[in-house]
Chain A
């Protein structure tokens, strides 16, 4: 029987589950003109959940027979998963309203996806890992297919679904191997048994499938094929979600499966991650150069950034994991800002999809051009912006772990990356706006304020990044 304590440890998750169900029911009774009630309720729920997560802390308490672990890493990732969901809600409302997609299910799905991500990053058992991942993925498929009349959106959803189901299958297959070798599904137990199993090669065999599954979720080359199509086809509001929440969750997934479960096989997976990181950095950065479509460009840039995250994970040290979590949190903030501006630029019947749509933005709306420029310079890793410190930390931990060659691959490809980020800045600042498209951007007040704060955070966190780093290091006991 679950004890009270179990429920208390999982209180944020239970709350979110109940609130999402209530929200779904409540929305059924609202008229479309009252949809903003759903909107603000969803944001309120997210904020309360953040508060619950923070008040629970990251003390390492477990629940339901160690199915669920509440540790420091889970705390950080949950806070930023929820924060990203709140940002997605705020940024998307005008965009969805203009397209007739502003439906209550959007918010319900976002909340359920967040729940999936929270369960995933807190999982203490292989079954829990899989359940959390599936909840997150199923919500994501539905979100990608949300614009059901659009052929592109549906195509993207089908691609995503099929490839993701394949990756899920791989992951499950790997888990079954590990279960076969160790006779346990509990991550900590597997970790303890792993060094003395009768068939170690079975474990390594399973490990390969785990790594493939993780790489798919992160969008690491060569498991990245779904990413550009989904970014391109899905409504931008959903892309903002896809580029933040699942990425945060995937880092948690990687830590749970690789370190907590297969930590004794670090030598094996370290090399796999290092090679995947190098391939991802090269493919992501080089292919991004050729993209005229800004969503596809950002998709390839995501692939490159996840390569950087792998740099931290491949170090396989507490400082390395902390750097990876720091990086992915930073990436989520930068991506949210970039997609926020893209959605701001889009109007009813017009998607700001091409980089050339940003022409002369500095003359139209200097402030939002500035926010976009900050996001681009930060993604490129130019100090004093936030993105630089994330790169610094993963490079430091990779070099510390003896992966100097990988660090050099990373920095050389980041020069290539610099080019396409600068191109966006160039278009915004050095080109004149097209005829007839020179009016300033119109935006709702909440969107304007939150997006501005998001942009300023990229500078602010560039100066005061110590607390976040300390939090990440503390979570991994480094």
Chain B
């Protein structure tokens, strides 16, 4: 297995696999579904092949493929994974299967195009996590927008055109300054190679400018307060599959970008503006948490909950800089690992919650919280899953939600008890909006006859939710293998930052 170009296969199998799915045409939707599932499963199997040969004791890039792409510009087709990207690749391939399965019955219009868009997204996202050349990274980073634009625009809700244009233009706006910054770095270093750019020693002024250019791209992607406003619109209007991909994987690309680019390339500027990032993260955690509390639309509530939870991720990333300044490398490592675990965990939980909302929406065709009530009596199986994911969202010990939040809060405590105090608010507010949501939807008396007539989840839906549940519990109960995979890479990054 070792001599196969596994990463290239991972990227190109879904990208090329989208073509036969597209070629099936509108006439045979079932064939398109099956083909898409086969491609998604194959991609997942390929990503699992990475695990046995992955050396978790090494922080270096593994499975490296390096070919010259454009000789004149010294651009390379350079791929590799380390502990940080490996888990995100697995998260991507895993989620894609569930998205394909989740769309099985729900999507009836132009199935082949939907499935092809999901596969293209999958390939581009894997490309983002594997690219070791900044231009290649940028190409994948931007290319993702096209299938997502189409996903929201064709299969979305009533205001889909507004939402998808806002999504596209917002993210494009952020990333073009990133492009200018990359060109500047290229002119300094003569290469787009990420590792070389990371070892470039730039002055503080240059770093500061670059930092804000990077910030534009990644803060919008994460999204951080106050550039989060595209997310609720995109989530509300997107079809379930689009929401799941968006929340589970696409937001993580922002966090990944912060770690790979902002932190590793611009350590001085990251330290200088760490306070700014921490303040923005805390605002996201607390203020957006309160915003989530008052939502009437379930999808919007979970969207705001995502912004709030991603605040913990950015907090974990940038608290590292403060800790390193104080010479506390151990806590710094804890903070970064916590941010990573929180990203993976949030990928599972938010994906699962959006799937749950999709299940309800397919039956009642509304996302208004008020329209539901007493699902525990009507759909006991569904209620079990929903409550479990809600608990994970709250951060109950034993679920994945707890591990990441705990690590980040613990790390921030070493930096300042005050930051930890505010960060810990996320637990309280999160419990507030999530439990209240569950109380209104799942418990209480059955709201209406339409609700009473809702059938419980089918075997296929149970399989999707069950797989999500398995992942949430696995990460919650045995976090060690997950953190172990990335320990060496994070240690290396921390050593690089010191």
Q: Which residues of A contact B (CB under 8 A)?
A: 362, 366, 377, 382-384, 388, 392, 395-396, 399-400, 404, 407-408, 411-412, 414-415, 418-419, 422, 425-426, 429-430, 465-466, 469-470, 473
Docked-complex contact B160 and A430, CB < 8 angstroms: yes
What separation, in Å, do the CA atoms of A261 and B218 have in the docked complex? Answer: 46
Contact (Cβ within 8 A) B183 A399: yes
Our pick among A362, A411, A419, A430 for the contact of B179 (Cβ within 8 Å) is A411
Kindly state the separation between the CA atoms of A388 and B161 in the bound complex, as whole angstroms: 24
Among A395, A415, A429, the residue within 8 A (CB) of B183 is A395
B154 touches A429 (CB 8 A): yes
Q: Which of B364-413 contact A (CB under 8 A)?
A: none
Complex A-B: 12 CB contacts under 8 Å: A362-B110, A366-B26, A382-B145, A392-B183, A396-B187, A399-B187, A411-B176, A414-B176, A419-B165, A429-B153, A466-B69, A470-B71
A16 to B471, CA, bound (A): 69
Whether the Cβ atoms of A418 and B172 lie closer than 8 Å is: yes
| Contact, CB under 8 Å: B169 / A418 | yes
Taking CB atoms and an 8 Å cut-off, the chain B residues in 159-189 that contact chain A are 160-161, 164-165, 168-169, 172-173, 176-177, 179-180, 183-184, 186-187
Which chain B positions have C-beta within 8 A of A418? 168-169, 172
Q: Does B165 contact A400, Cβ atoms closer than 8 Å?
A: no
CA distance A384 to B177 in the complex (A): 18
Which residue in A392, A429, A469 is a CB contact (below 8 Å) of B72?
Answer: A469
Work out how many contacts link A and B, with CB atoms closer than 8 A: 80
What is the size, in residues, of chain B's interface with A at 8 Å between Cβ atoms? 35
Residue from B26, B71, B183 in contact with A396 in the complex, judged by beta carbons closer than 8 Å: B183
- B165, A422: Cβ atoms under 8 Å? yes
Q: Is chain B's interface secondary structure helix, strand, loop, or mixed overall?
A: helix
| Nearest-Cβ distance from residue A395 to partner chain B, whole angstroms | 6
Report the Cα distance A466→B179, complex, angstroms. 19
In the assembled complex, the Cα of A400 lies from the Cα of B153 at a distance in Å of 38
Cβ contacts under 8 Å, A429 to chain B = 150, 153-154
Contact across chains for B153 and A411 when beta carbons are under 8 A apart? no
Residues of B within 8 A of A425 (CB): 149
User: Is B456 interfacial (CB-CB < 8 Å)?
Assistant: no
Other than A382-B172, A399-B187, A430-B153, give 20 A-B pairs with Cβ distance below 8 A: A366-B113, A377-B146, A382-B145, A383-B139, A388-B139, A395-B179, A395-B180, A399-B183, A407-B183, A411-B179, A412-B176, A415-B176, A419-B169, A422-B168, A422-B169, A426-B164, A429-B154, A465-B70, A466-B71, A469-B70
Residue of A nearest to B160 (CB): A430
Evaluate contact between B187 and A382: CB separation under 8 angstroms.
no
Once bound together, how far apart are the Cα atoms of A470 and B69, in whole Å?
12
- B176 with A407: CB separation less than 8 A: no
> Would you give the shortest CB distance from A68 to chain B, in whole angstroms?
29
In the complex, are the beta carbons of B179 and A392 less than 8 A apart? yes
* Residue among A411, A414, A422, A473 making CB contact with B149, cutoff 8 Å: A422
| Interchain CB contact under 8 A, B73 and A407 | no
- Which residues of chain A have C-beta atoms less than 8 A from B172's C-beta? 382, 415, 418
Complex interface residues of chain B between 133 and 149 (CB less than 8 A to chain A): 135, 138-139, 142-143, 145-146, 149
**Interface residue SS majority, chain A:** helix
B166 CB, nearest partner CB in chain A, Å: 11
Q: How far is A418 from B164 in the complex, measured between Cα atoms in Å?
A: 13
**Which residues of chain A are near B168, meaning CB under 8 Å?**
418, 422
B180 touches A407 (CB 8 A): yes
Residues of B within 8 A of A430 (CB): 153-154, 160-161, 164
List residues of chain A with CB within 8 A of the CB of B146.
377, 382
User: Shortest Cβ distance from A439 into chain B, in angstroms?
Assistant: 15
Chain B residues within 8 Å of A408, by CB = 180
A465 to B70, CA, bound (A): 8
Say whether A469 contacts B183, CB under 8 Å: no
Would you call B143 and A470 a contact (CB within 8 A)?
Answer: no
Asked whether B143 lies within 8 Å of A382 as measured between CB atoms, the reply is: yes
Chain B residues lying within 8 Å of A469, measured Cβ to Cβ, are 70, 72-73
- B279-298 contacts to A, CB under 8 A, are none
Chain A proximity of B137: nearest CB distance (Å)? 10
User: What residues on B are CB-neighbors of A392 within 8 Å?
Assistant: 135, 179, 183
CB-nearest residue of chain A to B176: A411
The answer for the CA separation of A392 and B183 in the assembled complex, in Å, is 8
A residues near B161, Cβ cutoff 8 Å: 426, 430
- For the complex, what is the distance from the CA of A415 to the CA of B171, rounded to whole Å? 10
9 closest residue pairs by CB, A with B: A383-B139, A411-B176, A466-B70, A430-B153, A383-B142, A384-B139, A384-B143, A396-B183, A469-B72
Point out which of A395, A396, A407 has the most chain B C-beta atoms below 10 A from its C-beta.
A396
Partner of B142, one of A388, A399, A415: A388
Within 8 A of A (CB), among B333-366: none
**Bound: A399/B186 CA distance, A:** 11
Q: Is the CB of A473 within 8 A of B72?
A: yes
Neighbouring A residues of B177 by C-beta, 8 Å: 411
A418 and B175 CA atoms in complex are apart in Å by 13
Chain B: minimal CB distance from A216 (Å):
30
Q: Assess whether A470 is in contact with B72, with CB atoms less than 8 Å apart.
A: yes
Smallest beta-carbon distance B170→chain A, Å: 10
A162 to B125, CA, bound (A): 53
* Minimum C-beta distance from B123 to chain A (A): 11
Q: Which residue on B lies nearest to A370, using beta carbons?
A: B22
Q: Using an 8 Å CB-CB cutoff, how does the interface string of B101-145 with A read, 1 for contact, 0 for none?
A: 000000000100100000000000000000000010011001101
- Contact yes or no, B71 A411, CB < 8 A: no
Which chain A residue lies CB-closest to B69? A466
CB distance from B30 to the nearest CB of A (A): 19
Q: How close is A317's CB to chain B, nearest CB, in angstroms?
A: 12
Q: How far is the CA of A384 from the CA of B110 in the complex (A)?
A: 24
Chain B: CB-nearest residue to A396? B183
B293 to chain A, nearest CB (A): 33
| Cα A277 to Cα B82 with chains together (Å) | 44
Q: How far is the CA of A408 from the CA of B113 in the complex (A)?
A: 36
Query: Which of the listed residues B113, B143, B160 has the most CB atoms from chain A within 10 Å of its own CB?
Result: B143
For A362, list chain B residues within 8 Å (CB).
110, 113
Whole-angstrom CA separation of A466 from B73 in the bound complex:
9
Bound complex: CA A412 to CA B164 (Å): 20
Contact between chains at A396 and B165 (CB < 8 Å): no
How many whole Å from B6's CB to the nearest CB in chain A?
20
| Chain B nearest CB, measured from A237 CB (Å) | 30
Kindly list chain A residues whose C-beta atoms are within 8 Å of the C-beta of B73. Answer: 396, 469
Q: How far is the CA of A418 from the CA of B138 in the complex (A)?
A: 17
For the complex, what is the distance from the CA of A404 to the CA of B184, rounded to whole Å?
9
Produce 1/0 per residue, B55-80, CB < 8 A to A.
00000000000000111110000000
Per-residue CB contact flags for chain B residues 215-242 toward chain A (1 = under 8 Å, else 0) read: 0000000000000000000000000000
Q: Does B180 lie within 8 Å of A411, measured CB to CB? A: yes
Q: A431 — nearest CB in chain B belongs to which residue?
A: B161
A419 to B153, CA, bound (A): 14
A316 to B110, CA, bound (A): 50
A400→B72 contact, CB < 8 A? no
B154: A residues at CB distance < 8 A? 429-430
How far is B135's CA from A473's CA once the two chains are assembled, in angstroms? Answer: 20
Contact A466 B143 (CB under 8 A): no
- Distance in angstroms from B330 CB to nearest chain A CB is 40
Whole-angstrom distance from the CB of A427 to the nearest CB of chain B?
10
| Cα–Cα distance between A388 and B136 once the two chains are bound (Å) | 12
A473 closest partner in B (C-beta): B72
CA distance in complex: A425, B165 (Å):
11
Q: Could you tell me the distance between the alpha carbons of A366 and B112 in the complex, rounded to whole angstroms? A: 11
CB of B216, distance to nearest CB on chain A (Å): 11
- Complex Cα distance, B136 from A266, in Å, reads 34
Residue ID in chain A nearest B168 by CB atoms: A422
Give CA–CA (A399, B187) in the complex, Å. 9
Please give, as numbers and ranges, the residues of chain A lying within 8 Å of B149 by CB-CB distance.
422, 425
Docked pose: A377 CA to B146 CA in angstroms? 8
Q: Does B72 lie within 8 Å of A396, measured CB to CB?
A: no
Shortest CB–CB separation between residue B16 and chain A, in angstroms?
A: 12
CB-nearest residue of chain B relative to A430?
B153
Contact A383 B143, beta carbon cutoff 8 Å:
yes
Cα–Cα distance between A415 and B186 once the two chains are bound (Å):
23
A384 to B138, CA, bound (A): 9
